Amino acid sequence: MKVQMLGLCRFSYLGGRGFQVEHDDLAGRRAFLYDPERLARRWFWFRHVTLPALMAQSDSDFTLVLMTGPDLPEPWLSQLRDLCDEVPQFRLSLVPPMERHVEACLAAIAPHLDPQADVVGHFRQDDDDAVAIDYIRDARRDFAALEPLWSRRRRLSCDYARGLVLKATADGVSVEPRMIHNAVAGLTVYLAPDAQRSIMHFPHWQIGLSMPGVTLPGKVMFVRFLNHDNDSGAIGAGYPWEAGETDWNTMLADRFRIDLAHLDRAARDFGLPGADRPRWGQ
C-alpha cells in the first residue's frame, strides 16, 4: 500500500480565522504578524528548532507545504523561496487571505496530493515545533499495522505522545519531558487521497470526535517549543514522564538535530518573557 506523507507548515499566514490571538480587522492582524522583530524571531526558531530534523529525516520521501501570504515582507518571502529551492521535499504555497482557515489550508496542500497514493498521512508542522528524525519513517511504517483499523472509516489518527517541552524566556531555555495527548507535532491523520480534507479540518484537542485513534508512546518523537510569540502556548493535556539522568543536550542533538546551548543563548539575547496568553506554559 502506497502511503504519501504530506505536511503543512504555516509561516505567519495572514487569514481570517484559525488562530487564538484575535484582531479587530485584517489590517490589525497584518501589523501583528508582519512586525519585523516578530518575524525575525519566528525565522530564527524555524531555522534552529523546526528545520534541522526535517532536513535530516531518515525517510526522505515526504512533502512539506510551506504556506504563507503573497505579501509576506522581505527578506522572509525570499528566504522561504530559497529554502524550497534548497530542500527537494519543500513546496511554497502563497495563499491570499481567506476567511475560512481550513479552506485556505486545503487550497495550499491540494495541488500536492498524490492521486496514486492509497492513503495520505497528513501532518501539521508548526513553525516553532519539531519532530524527530525518524518521524516520517515510523509514520509510514507503522501504518502497515494500523491499516485494518483505518479501513473501517478511511480515517485514523496516530499519536506519538512522548516528547519534550522547551520553554524560552529571558532566563534561557528549560526542558520538560511530557506525555501530551494529540499534540500538534507527532500527530498523523491518515485519510484517503480523495477525502477533500486536511489535518486542519480536525482540531487536534478533540480529534476523537472525528475518527478512531492510536497512541504509540515508546519513543521521544516531538518537541513542543514555547516562546514569546506562541499563538496560545498551552502545553496540552498530559503528564510528565520520568527521564532519570537524561542528557538533554545529547538527546536533542541526536533525535532533533537541535543545539540546546545555541537556543539558550538566543533566548537570553531576545530577553523576552513567555507569551501574554492565559494558559502559556500550562
Tens digit of each residue's pLDDT, the chain (282 residues): 999 999 999 999 998 654 555 656 788 889 989 999 999 999 999 999 999 999 999 999 999 999 999 999 999 999 999 999 999 999 999 999 998 999 999 999 999 999 999 999 999 999 999 999 999 999 999 999 999 999 999 999 999 999 999 999 999 999 999 999 999 999 999 999 999 999 999 999 999 999 999 999 999 999 999 999 887 778 888 999 999 999 999 999 999 999 999 999 999 999 988 777 767 666
Phi, psi (deg, nearest 5) at residue 73:
-65, 160
Report the candidate in 131, 164, 160, 174 with the shortest Cα–Cα distance to residue 235: 164
The grid coordinates listed for 229 are 510569540
**Domain-embedded: residue 9:** yes
CATH of the domain at 51: 3.90.550
Phi, psi (deg, nearest 5) at residue 17:
-140, -170
Q: How many domains does the chain have?
A: 1
**Domain-embedded: residue 84:** yes
Q: What is the pLDDT of residue 232?
A: 75
Q: Would you tell me the crossing angle of helices 76-86 and 36-45 to the nearest 10 degrees? A: 20
Q: What is the pLDDT of residue 19?
A: 56
Containing structural domain, residue 154: 3-159+181-215
**Domain-embedded: residue 21:** yes
Report the candidate in 148, 141, 114, 132 with the shortest Cα–Cα distance to residue 52: 132
**Domain-embedded: residue 38:** yes
**Domain-embedded: residue 259:** no
Q: What is the pLDDT of residue 243?
A: 93
**Domain-embedded: residue 37:** yes
**pLDDT tens by residue, 234-280:** 888 899 999 999 999 999 999 999 999 999 999 999 998 877 776 76
**Domain-embedded: residue 257:** no
**Domain-embedded: residue 10:** yes
